[in-house]
Amino acid sequence: MKNLSRCLPLLIGCQLCLGTAIAQVSNAAQGDHYERIFAAFERLPIRNLESAYLRCASESEQRMLSLDEAAYCSIGSEVLKKRRFGGDFDAMLAWWKVHRNDKTDNSNGNAGLASEK
């Protein structure tokens, strides 16, 4: 029993280090995943970005988005804001107010939410 009580802090320390290492690898992989999504959005035509944004806005009004869907929509929003509106959030908001009831064209397959990838 004495040996176990002396080893316990070492075992706990090893578990914490292992858990931290696993979390860092997971976070790096997730970061790479989001960077690939960002790069894919960067290549889309503006019309597709607009459709994706409007679809995300519509879906988020109807239900709570999953974490992946919310990240996907957030990345798409940032790319649209940068490319279409030169980073001007107010201009994007004004555009959204005019177009929020537009039907979105999802025929190209690129304007869907993350769950439809």
Q: What pLDDT digit, counting tens, does each position of 98-115 carry?
A: 998 877 655 444 445 554
- Cβ-count burial 74-85 (b if 16+ within 10 Å, e if not): ebbbebbbeebe
**DSSP letters spanning 55-68:** HHHHHHHHSPPPHH
Reported as a pLDDT band with limits 50, 70 and 90, residue 6 is low
Domain ranges of the chain: 2-116
Q: What pLDDT digit, counting tens, does each position of 34-73 carry?
A: 888 889 989 999 999 999 999 999 998 898 989 889 888 9
Q: What pLDDT digit, counting tens, does each position of 78-93 carry?
A: 999 999 999 999 999 9
Handedness of CA 21, 70, 37, 108 (dihedral sign): positive
What is the mean pLDDT of the segment spanning 1-20?
47
Q: Residue 49 and residue 21: Cα distance in Å, rounded?
A: 36
* pLDDT attached to residue 95: 93
* pLDDT attached to residue 108: 45
